[in-house]
Structure 1
Amino acid sequence: MLIDLLDAGLPGHDALVPGSNLPVRVTPLGGGTSLVRLPPRWSRPGRGHYLAGEEFVLLEGELRVSGVTYLPGEHAWLPAGALRHSCAAPAGALVCTFFDGEPTWVSSDADEPDGPSQRTPLCTVVIPGGGLPLTPHSVLLDTPVTLDQPAEMITVPSWTWEVSTLVPEGRVLVRWTP
């Protein structure tokens, strides 16, 4: 099933992100993937980290995490243990997010990340032959291929999501569930 991630009418439920000031709207997509709508003035002022790595694609708005501002079309990888502080979406944001394990939040000032955080502009980054690895579980492709197992796929920049074994033409973020 192909899902338009920008469809404002997708069903969801309200949830409170640990340490945040306002509830967010969460739409589970499957395979540990969720679409999260952060309302205007959303923030998480506290410091801490998740015990699992988080990968996300910002679809709308602006999201600030630990002094880094993410804009629409940018992909982020924050490994398990990566310190997060001063998180905010002043005008609201729409984020497609994936965790590589249980997203358990730990309030802390002394964090030890498993690896470097990274930010990648999906629409403009150069993709080498064979694809651009983004995380231990994802790659950005621009060549149609058939996979040996189903994977989650986000088309760039039309922002649709599906689970398939066939990578369509164009830029596609392919993610395997750990």
Structure 2
Amino acid sequence: MMGEGTVKMDMVGILQVEKGVEVTNGTVTMMGTTIMVKSGAGNGNGYGVGVGVSGGAVTMMGTAITVTSGDSGNGYGVGVGVSGGVVTMMGTTIVGTSGGTGKGTGVYVGSGVKMGSSETLMMMKEVRISGFEKGVSVEKGKLVMNMGSITVKSGVGNGNYGVGVWGTADATLMGTEIKGMGGKGVVMEGEG
């Protein structure tokens, strides 16, 4: 969505694409929506994003996002990537699956291909993230995570963690469970 309008998605299914939803402006509300993305051009090698937000306001309630890198792929996937705007997630599930050496991040907030904004706000309540190398990575803006859980995938590479806070980001975690085999729960290398 690139305009300033409003989009409401209720019980919508978006399947087998590289990018499920892209929001650069306006307001998007998703309720009970299922998004299944495959990293790469159908072969599991490449980059897949469930929901990409660079501006506007996005609300997800009861949404299920699955990122798959394929049977033999070594693709990189992001469940939710945010480089600007305001994102609120409630009761959302973000799962990464891979048959090969695929890895990725459940939620990424901050700079990427598009530079992040210090005004980015990510609110998560009862969100469950699993199957990724990195659960939540925040470089700029503010993250608030209330309850929910992060299960980190082990054995994919170096630097696995539940929550990583870098640069000028702020993160608040309340009642959140982080678990995994190896890696780190929370990594803080911020400037503030």
TM-score, normalised with respect to structure 1: 0.27
TM-score, normalised with respect to structure 2: 0.26
Bigger share in strand = 2
